[in-house]
Chain A
């Protein structure tokens, strides 16, 4: 599904990613961990197509197509979803209106008819109950005045509505209390299938107790320095990152 080859990227002349290799197959859950500033969020931004980052080498192949040729919206149309670490506020635009626009623009790009309002409404109700979201939520301005937990829940709600092939969850656990974390993780798990894949970006092991990864990768100084199974996350929790850093810097 996703094949990243020797990916290098910089922002404002500063090199951040220094040769990333990663392969994600349908049905898999990958976790990317690493200390602050290691390039985790840059990696997710580059996959999603944020223009501020300049790709200086390598390529990203998604289902046989080079993603680097596509704009961020086109990548979304292909089925890539990024749950933002800091979702932005759009005053005056309701959650419903935003999701409706996102779904219909995506359908339009795929040559499909717009989704009938009653079908959309039914789908919204289903996904809302999955994520324990209140009805009043729909008519609020997007992310405006949302608590940290509401923002993250809203991200996963949109993911549920858009049904992406590849979802990247960028620090979805930050700002969540235990209950919210459980609800969000539960939602993600229910949306998982053998046809889609998830990349979880996180600092901590705690989210991975709920969303269990098939693979864990450690990103440090713009490179994946170690890959393993979920046990690696536990090892990191116990030992921290220093032992890996030593390996790289030696």
Chain B
């Protein structure tokens, strides 16, 4: 298997070969979107013909699609021709230890109370760090390899495991699923790939940290996790982004495939740059995440969303197989001028399928948060069950919280429960905490963490700690 470095070298050295731009930095494609750009990306990544064609097919379909207008968010439409669709980090000397990873990146981790070293040493988390579009570091690969687990970048998977990629890519989120999923299919540059063989229980949490690195570049991650029959994997995805003054587009696609009796736990902490206090800048986070459950399979999504200027995101489960289970646990925080329209879709197709939705929205400042969820029971889904709980917590008087639950049932045996509450962090609660010696910021952190407990409890321990800190940081100064 090629090392990342030699791969990078090939990528950057292959510039001239395709007669493309000699007077710009070797590793960045100029802004613009066209068939030619897609061919260049595919060529830079030395992809096989079928992959290039797959991308081009997606692009042609994309051209006939329009940006969705139904989410409860407003923003100036991003100029897709102004985005550079490929940017690989400049080649640096060989990385021999984690200490050589970009210090700024390590610094961000440290601010969150987690360093790569610490994670590696204390928790044995294998991480595939994605800086901009190309993976620069993959650890623990060998150990996982012994079990037959494949955990690598999507680029590598296309090279080394084309049969798996061909078989599953685009099967859960079709190319034409929506505008941004189609765009992603055409231009995705990298992402993570994971395959757990039959009967294998992945012994460690698999983790990927994403970060948008360079100003003016969009990021189009593509993640594919396949859990073969009777296997189990817990996958963690965390995002941090440094301050940027202009909007950046992030349009990822995540596909999960849980075959018979398999279980996938997918946890996300999303902390992209939310823009400043006046709503200037920040990341557009338009993500499509979906999982397919075969017989007796289970997919559990847990997300803590604190970042991004504008978010729309609905991690969903298609409960195709009998007795399959889908879960969605979400905390979505908006502050200042952030907007989020997020929720889930639980599509019950098989008999005795079950789903649980726990959504906790927190709105502060002038922000707007919406829960949008669909529970659909198909005609053959006998005895399907769903429980949904959607709570909103408001801080101050300038924010808005909305709930859009959709229920479509085509089978009379379905049981669906929906509970919703809206509450406000009261001055009473803050004063009570103050009186016991707990300052305002601490008090808010305490109250908010209590409110989110049901969701935070779903996260792996070390992630839960990071998430708690993030919640506190995101809401700093939002009361009083």
Residues of chain A whose beta carbon lies under 8 Å from any beta carbon of chain B:
48-52, 71-73, 75-77, 81-82, 84, 87-88, 90-93, 97-98, 101-103, 105-106, 109, 141-142, 158, 162
Contact = CB atoms under 8 A, between A and B. Distances in A.
Contact of B453 (A72, A75, A84, A92): A92
Given A73-B435, A88-B429, A102-B436, 14 more contacts: A73-B434, A76-B434, A76-B435, A76-B437, A87-B432, A88-B432, A93-B446, A101-B438, A101-B446, A102-B433, A103-B437, A106-B437, A141-B450, A162-B436
Interface of B: 426-429, 431-440, 442, 446-447, 449-454
| Interface secondary structure of B, over-half rule | helix
Q: Which 7 A-B pairs have the closest CB atoms?
A: A92-B450, A93-B450, A106-B437, A72-B434, A76-B437, A102-B436, A92-B453
18 contacts: A51-B427, A51-B431, A71-B434, A73-B440, A76-B437, A82-B435, A88-B428, A90-B433, A90-B450, A92-B450, A92-B452, A93-B449, A101-B442, A102-B437, A102-B438, A105-B438, A106-B437, A158-B436
Given A88-B426, A90-B450, A162-B437, A105 B442 contact: yes
Nearest to A86: B428
Contacts of A73: 433-435, 437-440
A91 B365 CA distance: 22
Contacts of A51: 427, 431
A91 B429 CA distance: 11
B451 A92 contact: yes
A227 B446 CA distance: 42
Residue of B439, B451, B454 ringed by the most chain A CB atoms within 10 A: B439
Contacts of B429: 88, 90
B431 A92 contact: no
B103 to A, nearest CB: 30
A72 B435 contact: yes
A109 B437 contact: yes
Residue of A50, A77, A162 ringed by the most chain B CB atoms within 10 A: A50
Given A88-B426, A92-B451, A93-B450, A98 B436 contact: yes
Contacts of A91: 450-451
B475 to A, nearest CB: 15
Contact of B449 (A50, A72, A84, A92): A92
